[in-house]
Amino acid sequence: MAARTAEKYAKYMFPTVRTLYEEPIVMSRGSGHYLYDEDGKEYLDFFGGILTCGIGHANPKVAEAVSKQAHTLQHCSTLYIIPGQVELAERLLGIVPKGISKFTFANSGTEAIEAAILMAQIATGNDEIIALRHSYSGRSKLAIELTALHNWKQGMAPSGNVKYTHNGYCYRCAFGLGYPSCGMKCAYDLEELIRTSTRGSIAALIAEPVQGVGGVIVPPPEFFPIVADITRKHGGIFISDEVQTGFGRTGGKWFGIEHWGVEPDAITAAKQMASGAPIGALMARAELADRWTAPSISTFGGNPVTMAAACATIDFMKENDTKANAEAMGARLTDGLSRLQRKYPCMGDVRGKGLMIGIEFVKEGKEPAAGLLLKVLEGTKRRGLLVGKGGLDGNVMRLAPHLTITQGEIDGALSVLEDSIAEA
């Protein structure tokens, strides 16, 4: 049955949207931390629909809230006031970093980022944007331009409004230096980039606190304070792209940027905040949001059903302190992976924060080993564990279990990973 569905999929769908694995999985059901394919095979899900299902598939609280709202008012558009938007804004106000107090909702991370850039340009009167190298921002033309990974560029020619500054990628330092003796050259280089490659004033710098698609890249503690300062000195706002890192994913904090002690001017969020209902959110300082006054609408943005899903998700996260579990389970998973790393030199780097972890697979001399990772992925799939992949060279395994994951499931996944790596 699954083979027949896959055949029809290949026939009807645009080929640009890629599936994982030699034989793609035809997924039919999710429950808690597990997914089930069309043939009934069970998989422990360590990728959560690309970091979107953070509190268990078909979470009963979310399902109930969505069903109740769908039976009450499914849609009316932003021409009318949707109470769920206010309810979500009040919940967000209680958890966002200091200074953020206004919200607008969309349908995806891409749309949230589009809105953030537009707001930054309107609010500052500048148009040039800085993105980090190895960043990923989505699938609109602007988001593709903000993305700094050649394999996601769709062959598009750049418009020239975006410049790319260094990220804090210590394992492959662009300057060939080592932390901390490097003096944070990667961060300070932003000053030079702005002075030499822009008109001197910028609208914004957009950055993922931990770069996800780029390969789970975690910069050193000094990185964001330095780049945020330089950005503001040149008239720009600091946008923290929390599409992957938001809502407790990085453990112990609601938003990834909090680990660096920086208060962003704006935050973009999506994915995990509504447990799979399509959502995007732009959250900003009031003085920035209030400068965007020309009329706009979003037919689906902030719709009642999605708002109900997001409110129920945040309530569940608070009631179950999922960000604390992400911290504890993230430490357990990282410890286990570090033990494996001592045994298997192909695991060149193990890094991450909370339950957002990457393993960079390498050959001798740190050469990226994308082929080896693909073999490991096939092995984990066969053994019933789903993980992701990323990185500029496609050699980084990405692990992002549900925030509610248990010790037993972490230990089980570690043993599947060990067997699959040994086999590959």
Ligand X SMILES: Cc1ncc(COP(=O)(O)O)c(C=O)c1O
Distance CA 256, CA 260 (A): 8
State which residue, 85 or 110, has the beta carbon closest to ligand X: 110
Q: How far is CA 34 from the centre of its chain?
A: 21
Closest residue to ligand X, Cβ-based?
109
Residue closer to ligand X by CB (options 241, 327) is 241
Kindly tell me which of 14 and 80 has the beta carbon lying closer to ligand X.
14
Give the C-alpha distances (Å, rounded to integers) separating 287 from 99, 255, 367: 10, 21, 47
| C-beta of 241 vs 349, nearer to ligand X | 241
Structure-token match 């309107």, residue found: 122
CB of 150 to ligand X, least distance (A): 17
Residues in contact with ligand X by CB under 6 A are: 50, 108-110, 113, 136-139, 208, 212-213, 241, 243-244, 270
Q: For residue 130, what are the contacts with CB-CB under 8 A and spacing of at least 6?
A: 162, 163, 164, 165, 190, 193, 194, 198, 202, 204, 205, 206, 231, 236
Give dist(CA 289, CA 112) in Å, integer.
Answer: 13
CB of 41 to ligand X, least distance (A): 26
CB of 82 to ligand X, least distance (A): 21
| C-alpha–C-alpha distance, residues 85 and 47, integer Å | 28
The nearest distance, CB 277 to ligand X, in angstroms, is 12
Indicate the residue among 264 and 336 with the shorter CB distance to ligand X.
Answer: 264
State which H helix or E strand residue 285 sits in.
strand 280-285
Residue 244 near residue 278, CB atoms below 8 Å: no
Specify the residue, 67 or 151, whose C-beta has the smaller distance to ligand X: 151
In the complex, the smallest distance separating the C-beta of residue 109 from ligand X, rounded to whole angstroms, is: 2
CB of 183 to ligand X, least distance (A): 28
Q: DSSP strand E in 6-56: where?
A: 27-31, 34-37, 42-45
